[in-house]
Structure 1
Amino acid sequence: MATEPFAAVDVIRTKRDGGQLSPEQIDWVIDAYTRGVVADEQMSALAMAIFLNGMDREEISRWTTAMINSGERLDFSSIVGPGKKLATADKHSTGGVGDKITLPLAPLVAAYNVAVPQLSGRGLGHTGGTLDKLESIPGWQANLSNERTLELLGSTGAVICAAGSGLAPADKKLYALRDVTSTVEAIPLIASSIMSKKIAEGTGSLVLDVKVGSGAFMKDAAAARELAETMVALGEDAGVDTRALLTNMETPLGLTVGNACEVEESVEVLAGGGPADVVELTVELAREMLLASGVDEDPSEALKDGRAMDVWKRMIRDQGGDPDAKLPQPKETHTVLAEKTGVLTRLDALGVGVASWRLGAGRARKEDQVQAAAGIRLHAKPGDTVTSGQPLMTLMTDTPERFDFALESLENAYAVGETFQQQPLILGRVGTK
C-alpha cells in the first residue's frame, strides 16, 4: 500500500489556523478526496475552515485546477463551421427566478457564427433548470455524446445539453458535501465549483451572469461583486476570456416562471417580441459573448430578422425535439387578484420562485420529477398600475392540492402602494473590456 504524501489532519490544521495551503497540499487533498482516501468528515472540516478563513487568489486558482484535473477536459478548439474555424463562447448564470435567458441567447449568438456549447443543469429549489424547461418540448433530449456535441456545434452552432459526469467529478462530490455542512456560501468554493466545470468544458470565452437580490443565491451586492471578481480572475488564470454582469434578481425575469411557459416566452423573444427585461438581458449578454469572440455587431438585429429563430428551430430538431409542437398546458389554474387599486411596488422573486416550485415546476431533491406545465404567469410587474380585482398572476399545476401550499409563499411576496422607484436590470460589470 502506497504511503500518502500528506495527512488530511495537517492540511485541515493549516487552514484552520489561517495559513495558506501549498499547491502540493491542494493537489493532494482534491485527488485523495476523489479517491476516497480523505473521508467526508475530514473534507467537511476543511470546507468549514475555508468558509471561515477564506483563500487567496493563488489558492483558489490551484484548487480550481485540481478539480478540473479530477476528470476529463473537452476541447472545442477544432470546431469548423461553414468554411471557417469557429470561436466558442459560453454563458453561466448563478441562478434566478424566470431566468430563461439561455434559451434565446444560445441561438442568438450562434446566428453570428460563434459556436455556443451551453452545458446546462437542472433546477433545485426555487431556481429553475434550463434542461427541465427544454424537456417540456416533445421529443427533446438533454443527453448528447461529446462527439455529437462537436458535430452539432459545427453544423448548427448552438447546443444546450447536460454536462457529462466526467467533468470535474471532485466538484460533484464536494458540492453534495457543502450542501449538508452549511458551507455552500463560501465564495472560494462557489467560484471554484462553477469555474472548474466551465473551464473543463473547453470554451474560448465565458460570460457570467451573477444575480443579486431576493431570488438570487447572492442577496448582497458586495458579496455578488466579490464572487464575480473571483470567477473572472479564475478564468483569466486559466486563459479563458471571462467577464461578468451583475444583474438584478429582486423581481422575476419576464412574465413567466416555470418550464413550458418559459419556453413559450423564449420563443416570443426569438420572434422579435417578448418582455422588455428578458430582451434587454439577452441582448446585453449576447453582445459580451460576441465581443469576447471578436465580433462587434448588434445582436438585436438577429432577433428582428429571424436568423436567431432559424438557429433555434435547427437546434431543437438536432436534439430530437419538435419546435412547432404544442407545449404542455396545465390541468388546473388559480388566479391571484389585486386587493386594492394602486401601483404594484413589489413582486418578490424568492416568494414567486418558491410558489412555482411548490406548484410542481421545481424539485426539492435531485431525483424528484417536475411538471412541464406547472408554474406562474405574471399579469403585472413592479411599476404597473393595477385596479382592485385585477388578476396579478395565474398559478398553474396538474395537481390542484398544491395551490394552498404555493399561496402561502405568496402571502408577503407582493405589495400595492402609491409610488415605485424603478431599479436598473444591469447593476454592474466585471472584467468587460
Structure 2
Amino acid sequence: MNPQAAELNSVIQAKSTPVFELLSERGKNIFFPKKGILGQTAEAKGTKINATIGAAIEDDGTPMRLEAVASKINMDPSLVFPYAPSFGRPDIRAKWKSMIYEKNPSLDGVELSLPVVTNALTHGISMAGYMFADAEDEIIVPDLFWGNYNLTLTNAYGCSLGKFNLFKDGGFDLESFEAKLNEGGIGKKIVILNFPNNPSGYTPTVEEQDAIVDIIKKAAEAGNKIVTITDDAYFGLVYEEGIATESIFAPLSQLHENVLAVKVDGATKEDYVWGFRVGFITYGIKGGDAELYSALEAKTAGAIRGNISNAANISQSLLLSAFESEEYAQQKEAKYHIMQKRYDAVKEALTDEKYKECFEAIPYNSGYFMCVQLAEGLVGEEVRQLLIKKYGIGLIALGNVLRVAFSAVAASDVKEMFDGIYHACKDCKK
C-alpha cells in the first residue's frame, strides 16, 4: 500500500472506524498524490519560468488556444482552457455546498464534506462504487431502478444488486425495504436511494421518508455499518403536496455513527445542462469533522485522478457564473412551471377510464418520468415497436412496464401520447 493511502486510512480509522470498514479494498488503497508530478507542480506555482505542467502557454502567460475555439467563448481564457483540479474548482465546490444547505434547511449546523466534482452523476455513482463496493458486496436497490447501475456497479466492480419491492398499496413498500436491509445478518450494507426515482418518478411522502430513515437507524443501532448512496439526479422536481422536498441525505447525514451518507447529485437534470457533465459527491456522518471529510475527499479525488483526471473546466466555470447570476432563480422557477404543467397534463390525461383496460399508472409524483404497467397478456416490447411504427411515439419498455419521459413531451401532446399507447395496446390484443 502506498504510504499516502496508509496515512489517509489512519486519519479515517482514528475518526470513524465504521467509515474505514465501509471502504472497499480499492477505497482503502486509493489516495490523492501530494508528491510526484502534482506535488512538484504545486510547489512551482508562481515561479517566473514554470515548465512543470503538461499544458501550453502563450508568450504573454495566458493559456495557449486556437482562435477557432476561443472566438466562440465569451469567457476569460483562464476559466476555460487550463485543467481544473481533480477535486474540482474550489469556487464551484464551495458554491454547491452552500446550495445544498439552501435546498435542505434541516442541515443547518450540520458539518458536511466539501463536494468533490465528478463528470456528472454516472461518474459519481461509479466513484461511489469505487470507494465502497467490493466484488462480494450486494448493493440494495428497488426493483425499479436506473439500468445504468448494472454497468457502473456490477460490471465495473463485480458486486451484485439486491432488489426490494418498491411499491405496495400505492406507496413505498417499507416492509420490503426493511426486510431486505436486515437480510443476511449484521454486517456491511450498501443502499442506493434514488428520489425522484428513475424510472417511476416517485418520491416518498414526508411520512414515508421518516419511516425509511427510522428503518436505517434501527439497522445501524443493531450494529450494521451502512453506506447510503443518495442518487439525487432529479432533486427539486416535486409536483405534489406532502412529498418530501428535502433530500433523504439530509436526515441520513446526521443519523448515526454507523451510517455514512453519500450524496451524488449535480446540475445535469436540476439545471438542464445534460451535456455539461458536472456532478458532485458529498459526505455526511454523525460526528463527522473536517479532518475525516478531508481524507474522504482526498481519496475520492484520487479515484477521479486515476479515472478521468478531472472534470471539464469550462462546464464548471459556466455553471458557477449561472449560479451567481441574479436571473438564475427566476429562470429555474420558470422551467419548473413548464415541467409542472406537463406533469399536470399527464394526471389529467390518465383520468380517462378507458385506459384501465390496457394499462395503469405506477405511483408517480415528481422528476422527469412516470410509468404504466401493461395489462396481462400484453408484451411491452411488442407495444413499444408498434408505437414507433404505427403511431410515431417513442417510449422505453422495461419488461411489461412502459417508461414515459413526460419531461420531453409538450403538455399539448400528452393526451395524444396516451391515446396512442391505448390504441397500440388494443392492436396488440387482436
Larger gyration radius, structure 1 or structure 2: 2
- For the criterion TM > 0.5, the same-fold answer is no
